[in-house]
């Protein structure tokens, strides 16, 4: 199984002002560091929550079993507004897709072997399109990075708030 994410958005999924406000930074000296922390936090939130914050092209290659493959849960949610899904370059009928928090794609009957599924995921193209709770998770993670920069004493990983928020978006493995 291979998964590639190609960003289509021309901007970051946060605003520097929001990060600075949450981290209680009222000067400009650390703007570059905070921006880099924001990008790292957004990538960590996306990976943990299995979402695309802003529009991304998703290319997912899987091995489909002819006898058992009927549908698959798409690995990165949500489907971007107006997205088309393709399998091996062929458009999928809209009724083969169940959108939602964890979109499902019904595979064509008899499909087997290596299958490449391509679609766009993401909440939109602007930072304002990111759900408020995920924007808060990014800001909280940045505040954690900022407060612990250079420290070896802080625990690694997501802040408690960021982890709890991101967990609400994850799939539960069957």
> What mean pLDDT is predicted for residues 14-18?
97
Rounded Cα distance, 84 and 98, in Å: 13
Express each pLDDT in 67-112 by its tens digit: 776 889 999 999 998 899 999 999 999 999 998 889 999 998 888 8
pLDDT at res. 152: 80
User: How high is the pLDDT of residue 173?
Assistant: 62
* Residue 119, beta-bridge partner list: 58
Q: How confident is the model at residue 167 (pLDDT cuts 50, 70, 90)?
A: very high
**Of 119, 125, 151, 156, residue with least CA distance to 40:** 156
Estimate to the nearest angstrom the gap between the alpha carbon of 94 and the chain centroid.
22
Q: What is the chain's mean pLDDT, rounded? A: 92
Position 47 in a domain: yes
Helix (H, G, I), strand (E, B) or coil at 115: strand
The DSSP bridge pattern shows strands 90-91 and 71-73 to be unpaired
Q: What is the DSSP letter of 77?
A: B
Identify whether 61 is part of a domain. yes
Average pLDDT, stretch 37-52? 96
Q: Which of 121, 138, 156 is the last residue of a domain?
A: 121
Q: pLDDT > 70: what percent of the chain?
A: 98
Q: Is residue 5 part of a domain?
A: no
Same domain, yes or no, for 115 and 65? Answer: yes
> In the chain, how many domains are there?
2
Tell whether 4 is covered by a domain. Answer: no
In a domain, 63, yes or no: yes
CATH at residue 31: 1.10.3230
22 & 38 share domain: yes
Asked if 16 and 37 sit in the same domain, the reply is yes
Q: Does residue 173 form part of some domain? A: no
> Do 84 and 106 share a structural domain?
yes
61 and 109, same structural domain?
Answer: yes
| Backbone conformation region of residue 100, classed left if phi is above 0, alpha if psi is from -120 to 50, else beta | left
Residues 46 and 83 in one domain: no
User: Are 109 and 138 part of one and the same domain?
Assistant: no
Check pLDDT > 80 for residue 61.
yes
State whether 65 and 99 are in the same domain.
Answer: yes
Q: Is 174 part of any domain?
A: no
Domain that holds residue 154: 10-51+130-167
């Amino acid at each position: 199984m291979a998964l590639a994410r190609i960003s289509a958005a021309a901007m970051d999924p946060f605003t520097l002002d929001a990060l600075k406000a949450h981290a209680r930074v009222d000067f400009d000296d650390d703007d570059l560091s905070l921006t880099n922390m924001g990008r790292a936090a957004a990538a960590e939130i996306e990976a943990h929550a299995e979402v695309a914050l802003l529009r991304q092209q998703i290319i997912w290659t899987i091995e489909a079993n002819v006898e058992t493959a009927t549908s698959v849960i798409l690995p990165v949610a949500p489907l971007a507004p107006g997205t088309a899904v393709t399998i091996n370059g062929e458009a999928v009928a809209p009724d083969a897709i169940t959108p939602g928090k964890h979109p499902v794609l019904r595979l064509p009957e008899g499909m087997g072997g290596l299958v490449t599924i391509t679609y766009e995921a993401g909440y939109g193209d602007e930072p304002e399109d990111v759900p408020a709770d995920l924007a808060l998770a990014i800001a909280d993670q940045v505040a954690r990075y900022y407060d612990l920069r250079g420290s070896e004493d802080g625990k690694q990983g997501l802040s408690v708030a960021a982890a709890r928020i991101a967990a609400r978006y994850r799939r539960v493995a069957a």
